[in-house]
Amino acid sequence: MLPDGIWTFALLCVTSLFAIINPIAVAPVYLSLTQGYEADRQRHTLRVAILTGIAVLVVFALIGRGIFAVFGITIDAFRIAGGLVIFGIGMDMLQAKRSRGKSTPEETREAMHQDDVAITPLGIPMIVGPGSITTVMVLMSGAETLLHIVAVIIAVLIVLGTIYFALRSAPRFVHYLGKSGLNVITRIMGLLLTVIAVQFVIDGVRPILTSIIQAAMA
């Protein structure tokens, strides 16, 4: 029987990753980049982009602790920094703006003239960008057991798999929701993301404050 805490952690992994990648915001860009593609090529482009995203997130999830060790970064410091980065992205989403952490307008315009947009900019940074990479590394910093590590990896697969099917249905999505509907969902995702970011910061600050208080009382 799995411990109760693992389900809470797994839910946090799925919701935070889904919110920060936000397929609702990616859908219009995906459609514009693949405009004029035949159906088979459009599906192939999406598959390559999703597989690229999975590979990047899994690699950073597995080597995150090694990066901390090499640069002498504490997990608590990364939680605070990661929380601040994610909070900024969430605030952009609350204003229904596309975060420059995903892609800049210049990158989007340049991509319109590329023959193959699957790996970049669609896979990176539009689907998987600095925010989602940071989120995965922060989540892994809280992975205390092998089950927690597995939960993060499975969350990556679930979220990216869901986004694949969501973007396959992007034309219907965009048509039925319209600009206003897309903005509403983006704002909801942004609110969820800012709350998660604040919790990341709290989790990073709490042990630091505790150690300072303990040192002062010693």
Mean pLDDT of 146-157: 95
Please list, in sequence order, all residues whose beta carbon lies within 8 angstroms of the beta carbon of residue 218, skipping any fewer than 6 positions away: none
Q: Is the predicted pLDDT of residue 161 greater than 90, yes or no?
A: yes
Look at residue 106 in the predicted model and tell me its pLDDT: 58
Location of structure tokens 């208080």:
213
Q: Which is more confident, 218 or 119?
A: 119
**Cβ(156)–Cβ(59) under 8 Å?**
no
Please list, in sequence order, all residues whose beta carbon lies within 8 angstroms of the beta carbon of residue 106, skipping any fewer than 6 positions away: none
Distance CA 140, CA 122 (A): 25
Look at residue 53 in the predicted model and tell me its pLDDT: 95
Look at residue 158 in the predicted model and tell me its pLDDT: 97
Q: Is the predicted pLDDT of residue 118 greater than 70, yes or no?
A: yes
Highest mean pLDDT among 43-47, 76-80, 196-200: 43-47
Q: Is the predicted pLDDT of residue 98 greater than 70, yes or no?
A: no
| Cβ count within 10 A of residue 72 | 7
pLDDT-based confidence at 113, cuts 50/70/90?
very low
Q: Is the predicted pLDDT of residue 110 greater than 80, yes or no?
A: no
**Cβ(147)–Cβ(87) under 8 Å?**
no
